[in-house]
Structure 1
Amino acid sequence: MAENKMFCFQCQETAKGTGCTIQGVCGKKADTSRWQDLLLSVVRGIGTIADSLRQAGVKTGQEVGDYIVDSLFVTITNANFDDQAILNKVDKGVQIKRELLDLAVKNNVSLPDYQEVKWGGEKSDYEAEGNRESILRNENEDLRSLKELTVLGLKGMAAYYEHASRLDQRNEEIVAFMEKALATISNPAADMDTLLAIVLETGKFGVDTMALLDKANTQAYGNPELTKVNIGTGSRPGILISGHDLKDIQMLLEQTEGTGIDVYTHSEMLPAHYYPKLKKYKHLVGNYGNAWWKQKEEFETFNGPIVFTTNCIVPPTPKASYKDRVFTTNASGFPGWKHIEADKNGHKDFSEVIELAKTCKAPTAIEQGEIVGGFAHAQVFALADKVVEAVKSGAIRKFIVMSGCDGRMKSRDYYTEFAAQLPKDTVILTSGCAKYKYNKLNLGDINGIPRVLDAGQCNDSYSWAVVALKLKEIFGANDINDLPIEFNIAWYEQKAVIVLLALLSLGIKNIHIGPTLPGFVSPNVLKVLIDNFGLGTITTVEEDLKTMVG
């Protein structure tokens, strides 16, 4: 660490495929990375203490779980670049940790002798502790790899859990597991077998968390349904809402109704259009732009205010005209941007955003037309007879799951080319912002079934697991891997990591990931994943078409 200003390898764009050491490719500064490392150390300490208390039968309260979830989410790629906001969370964590230590003493609960537990939280020691607790604190490459694979999975899980909890869906078993996992990776004596087991268990609880969020979203807003979404613009001023949190867009729609302001979705917020109780708002007029990485150009032409509900922030250039009209909320943050906090009842006041929108021009059109989505598991089941008949008749030869993330790298054009060259008797099952690589191609349909079925956000990859298990039942397959389904997953950040671990926990094998292998997976850990699950990377479009389709 002495040779590096920082070390981070949690995203697909990490420098040289091994790790960012001077500044993050995402734009994260070295200081920000240090404070995030410090925050993660505090979270591991809290998780370890809470796990010991839980095993002793001592209750710690909801605040502890909420803090762990929120802090993990803050450190996800492209979520929060605001040093002071991160340090404020460190301060809060130190206070929670001290209260838990007092609770342990009061109840005579012995605690592990780990650095994360022992550190006293002195402000004068913040910088030194942040440096000590970097990713490189684990010298053994394989142990480090398994620990980081777990914590990155926990970050993705935390993101999904936070969305569910904001819709009043919680699960104490998931929180208990997160504490157990944090305690396990804090243990300097944890061996390979122990750490591999916790990685796989993280996948199992990833499935549970995505199921919880699916329940939260569908109970609150109805089951997603087949929807045509406008990608053009209207004549009225607009607000662009990005990220993933449906509770936020609900509140924004409620507060903008009747104001003369239109609301547009951006990137992963596109699936809001698919939910009956959100699409009823007539001023939810369309989706503006593409995936997150094009925001620098698209925010310029949008003309109105932008609200980030979660991660996927790209730091603006100093000359960006839009930088003074961006707002953040929840785990997201950026220096100088107004942050909207919820009150004690979870309500947010978007009046400042609305008043700013009234002074802005209408968005500049950058494209015209419609895109189709809304194919989560309930909608697919509604088409089940058609789908089964198409498979039995041979009209559909293969389903290709192309869920995951989009990104800036030129190599990601592979996914556009792969989709375009797929035979016309194949259907793409997609979710996440990876869809933007091909959801505007005219790929047609098979007997009325669109050849691109978009389930929604990255967490809606859960739908494809549900669909696969249902097809296994319908066709009487002995193994989920016997179905005519292939997985070609694009990844970028930690929510894709938990999706991958979830698929592995369901026994799905021979998954292809790309455009590159994760920098946080060591050669020995990769060999375990290859030997046990057949995990592989993409090659060329031509070779992968032969492998996956034949």
Structure 2
Amino acid sequence: MFCEQCEQTASGNGCHQWGACGKSPQLNAVQDLLVYCLRGLAPVVIKARQLGISTHDEDVFTCESLFATMTNVNFDRKRFTKYVRDCIEKRDNLKAKVKEASPEPVKWTRVSGYHPDFNESLVEQGQDLALGFISESARDVDIFSLKLTVLYGIKGAASYTFHAQELGQEDEQVYEFIQEALDALNHQDFTLDDWVNLALKVGEINLRAMELLDAGHTNTYGHPTPTPVPLNPRKGKAILVSGHDIRQLEAILKQTADKGITVYTHGELLPAHGYPLLKQNYPHLYGHYGTAWQNQTKEFAKFPGAIIVTTNCLMPPHETYDEKLFTIGPVGFAGINYIPAEEGNIPNFSPAIQQSLDMPGFVEEQPPRQVMAGFARNAVLNVADQVIDGVKQGKIRHFFLVGGCDGAKPERNYYTEFVEKVPEDCIVLTLACGKFRFFDQQLGEIGSLPRLMDVGQCNDAYSAIQIALGLAKAFDMDVNQLPLSMILSWYEQKAVAVLLTLLYLGIKDIRLGPTLPAFISPNVFKLLSEKYQLKAITTPDEDLAACLG
């Protein structure tokens, strides 16, 4: 196998024997086969769109399929076999429509004419196609590096686009570019500059995808407000919802209403507590249980109710809790309960609800503990005058955005130590699951402003960007002149998409860790370092000193 799309790749050089995430070489091969088939679907979608043929179904399918191939989303080979079958069927049906509508015959390339042999091993076919993709790019490692950057960035953007369309927020330009980027992977005549520009375009499109998802959340549930979130479970039946999908969380809340079940969030769903209409309409949404995704094997085993994983990050489950684990949407693992979508793309969660009712739940109260969530852009910019006054009066020296993905590597202790050492006249903004390294730290306040503010999920990088742009406007300066430093951790492909967005916006001096992406070649990193001053993290003390100048 060949996989280097996430941060935890073996020895930092890619996984070649078995995925560090738990993905087998066989699963990896079928995922590669699916990506190849999506690359063949893309030119047909582009041609159909030119002829005025609707491609909405194919566009949504593409986003869901790419989402499923992301790290720690779906480990079920049978599900991927179905994705491959559906992809070929959709492509061939669309070809027939194109043939009927086109005034001239269309000559399709090899990738758009490819048909897997479902009577033979899909694993071997996927392995051959992956080897071909590597071989055709081997003559220029820097172009291959950028091709992978584009592919992984598009996977991240597709996941945000998938969630946005669930909430009724879509943009044809986003769908159009995703197909164009997949088609670009078929080309051998693009220059290095072409690939650099395409990677930055991924960042631009991802910004729009995050904007759409932000609109879906805020239009549906209101703008987040600072909200205390209990960390102590309360006595009674319980159900745990993990992942990122707030729409599916709401569906679970609707279906558990008046059933005597308390709903807890896990992982990236912590920011859901900040949405006022969600809390107002569903009082049984009570608290947050556990921390980041990599701790789920211990945390899930101890939870006394059903657990529903709505998106990544899913780890290969242990037998201590696999019977109470449920997956939905693009998420899957062979042998684990899967609840398919029904009307409106909403599952019937009855099996998970019954499981929770049959389990003991929490049998005693625990001492109160809480954290604050809900410091999204409106909450922060509404007190911009206090922020500006604090800076002008010398009470606030610097802002640090310390966020991104968490993971299991010891090097990630850097982020805990960094926040602990941030001086008392500085404010820390955080987002995504990287915050679980320090989310319960008591950093105090500067005036009435908390020194630690949780901006939200990984997709709420959009909110963090708007905060930075809003403050730059208020201070009448370029965003790179703000007393703001970004200290980011990355893990999977959504983080790649967010980083490309920041580079597209021209944001400089980003510090990235805990290790650099294995798919970024030395020359490509040198290019990014020279143009954007992108740099690897060093030590907390050195980086703090450099940021504070």
The residue aligned with 1:255 is 255
In 2, the alpha carbon distance for the partners of 1:492 and 1:112 equals 40
Q: Among 127, 131, 143, which residue is 1:131 paired with?
A: 127
The residue aligned with 1:65 is 59
The residue aligned with 2:310 is 309
The residue aligned with 2:68 is 74
Matches for 1:445-484 after TM superposition, within 5 Å? 445-477=445-477, 479-484=478-483
In 1, the alpha carbon distance for the partners of 2:358 and 2:115 equals 50
1:494 equivalent in alignment to 2:490: no
The residue aligned with 1:541 is 540
In 2, the alpha carbon distance for the partners of 1:110 and 1:506 equals 42
1:84 equivalent in alignment to 2:100: no
In 2, the alpha carbon distance for the partners of 1:143 and 1:60 equals 33
The residue aligned with 2:42 is 47
In 2, the alpha carbon distance for the partners of 1:200 and 1:480 equals 18
Instruction: Assess if the C-alpha contact under 8 Å between 2:400 and 2:427 holds in 1.
Output: yes
In 2, the alpha carbon distance for the partners of 1:309 and 1:396 equals 39
In 2, the alpha carbon distance for the partners of 1:460 and 1:367 equals 31
In 2, the alpha carbon distance for the partners of 1:192 and 1:431 equals 33
Offset of residue 368 of structure 1 = 4.7
What percentage of aligned pairs have identical amino acids? 38
The residue aligned with 2:212 is 212
In 1, the alpha carbon distance for the partners of 2:483 and 2:41 equals 45
1:9 equivalent in alignment to 2:4: yes
Secondary structure of the corresponding residue to residue 441 of structure 1: coil
Instruction: Report Cα offsets for 1:378-418 as digits up to 9, x if no partner.
Output: 11122112111111111111111112111101110000000
The residue aligned with 1:277 is 277
Q: Among 93, 98, 101, which residue is 2:87 paired with?
A: 93
The residue aligned with 1:228 is 228
| Runs of 4+ that moved beyond 6 A | 364-367
Offset of residue 510 of structure 1 = 1.2
Aligned partner of 2:184: which letter? T
In 1, the alpha carbon distance for the partners of 2:331 and 2:381 equals 35
In 1, the alpha carbon distance for the partners of 2:290 and 2:229 equals 12
Secondary structure of the corresponding residue to residue 229 of structure 1: strand
Given the superposition, is the C-alpha separation of residues 291 and 367 from structure 1 closer, same or farther in structure 2, using an over 3 Å criterion?
A: farther
Matches for 1:509-520 after TM superposition, within 5 Å? 509-520=508-519
Matches for 1:92-241 after TM superposition, within 5 Å? 92-106=86-100, 107-108=102-103, 114-124=109-119, 126-134=122-130, 136-137=134-135, 138-139=137-138, 140-241=140-241
In 2, the alpha carbon distance for the partners of 1:21 and 1:124 equals 26
Instruction: Assess if the C-alpha contact under 8 Å between 1:81 and 1:334 holds in 2.
Output: yes
1:420 equivalent in alignment to 2:435: no
The residue aligned with 2:432 is 432
Q: Among 17, 33, 39, which residue is 2:28 paired with?
A: 33
In 1, the alpha carbon distance for the partners of 2:325 and 2:495 equals 26
In 2, the alpha carbon distance for the partners of 1:18 and 1:363 equals 44
1:337 equivalent in alignment to 2:333: no
The residue aligned with 1:348 is 347
Secondary structure of the corresponding residue to residue 456 of structure 2: coil
Given the superposition, is the C-alpha separation of residues 390 and 204 from structure 1 closer, same or farther in structure 2, using an over 3 Å criterion?
A: same
- Which range moves more in the overlay, 118-127 or 368-377? 118-127
Given the superposition, is the C-alpha separation of residues 60 and 121 from structure 1 closer, same or farther in structure 2, using an over 3 Å criterion?
A: farther
Secondary structure of the corresponding residue to residue 49 of structure 1: helix
Matches for 1:364-375 after TM superposition, within 5 Å? 368-375=368-375
Instruction: Report Cα offsets for 1:288-311 as digits up to 9, x if no partner.
Output: 010011011111111211000001
Instruction: Assess if the C-alpha contact under 8 Å between 1:289 and 1:366 holds in 2.
Output: no
In 2, the alpha carbon distance for the partners of 1:27 and 1:245 equals 23
Given the superposition, is the C-alpha separation of residues 241 and 25 from structure 1 closer, same or farther in structure 2, using an over 3 Å criterion?
A: same
Secondary structure of the corresponding residue to residue 488 of structure 1: strand
In 2, the alpha carbon distance for the partners of 1:535 and 1:111 equals 44
Task: For structure 2, list consecutive stretches of 5 or more residues without a partner in the other structure.
Answer: none
Aligned partner of 1:228: which letter? P
Aligned partner of 2:81: which letter? L
In 2, the alpha carbon distance for the partners of 1:286 and 1:67 equals 34
Aligned partner of 1:156: which letter? G
Aligned partner of 2:337: which letter? K
Offset of residue 62 of structure 1 = 1.0
Instruction: Assess if the C-alpha contact under 8 Å between 2:27 and 2:123 holds in 1.
Output: no
Given the superposition, is the C-alpha separation of residues 109 and 468 from structure 1 closer, same or farther in structure 2, using an over 3 Å criterion?
A: farther
Secondary structure of the corresponding residue to residue 487 of structure 1: strand
Aligned partner of 2:97: which letter? L
TM-score normalised per structure 2: 0.96
Secondary structure of the corresponding residue to residue 347 of structure 2: coil
Aligned partner of 2:467: which letter? V
Aligned partner of 1:69: which letter? C
The residue aligned with 1:326 is 325
Offset of residue 473 of structure 1 = 1.0
Given the superposition, is the C-alpha separation of residues 429 and 109 from structure 1 closer, same or farther in structure 2, using an over 3 Å criterion?
A: farther
Instruction: Assess if the C-alpha contact under 8 Å between 2:51 and 2:98 holds in 1.
Output: no
Offset of residue 113 of structure 1 = 5.8
Secondary structure of the corresponding residue to residue 455 of structure 1: strand
Aligned partner of 1:517: which letter? L
1:360 equivalent in alignment to 2:359: yes
Given the superposition, is the C-alpha separation of residues 294 and 366 from structure 1 closer, same or farther in structure 2, using an over 3 Å criterion?
A: farther
Offset of residue 111 of structure 1 = 5.8
Secondary structure of the corresponding residue to residue 454 of structure 1: strand
The residue aligned with 2:530 is 531
In 1, the alpha carbon distance for the partners of 2:317 and 2:123 equals 27
Instruction: Assess if the C-alpha contact under 8 Å between 1:265 and 1:288 holds in 2.
Output: yes
Instruction: Assess if the C-alpha contact under 8 Å between 2:150 and 2:199 holds in 1.
Output: yes
Aligned partner of 2:449: which letter? I
Instruction: Report Cα offsets for 1:459-494 as digits up to 9, x if no partner.
Output: 0011111011111111111x2101111111000001
Instruction: Report Cα offsets for 1:182-219 as digits up to 9, x if no partner.
Output: 11122122221211111010000111111110000000
Aligned partner of 2:292: which letter? A
Secondary structure of the corresponding residue to residue 412 of structure 1: helix
Secondary structure of the corresponding residue to residue 344 of structure 2: coil
Task: For structure 1, list consecutive stretches of 5 or more residues without a partner in the other structure.
Answer: 1-5
In 2, the alpha carbon distance for the partners of 1:245 and 1:492 equals 19
- Which range moves more in the overlay, 96-105 or 143-152? 96-105
Offset of residue 58 of structure 1 = 3.4
Instruction: Assess if the C-alpha contact under 8 Å between 2:73 and 2:311 holds in 1.
Output: yes
- Which range moves more in the overlay, 411-420 or 439-448? 439-448
In 2, the alpha carbon distance for the partners of 1:214 and 1:74 equals 22
Secondary structure of the corresponding residue to residue 403 of structure 1: strand
Secondary structure of the corresponding residue to residue 186 of structure 1: coil
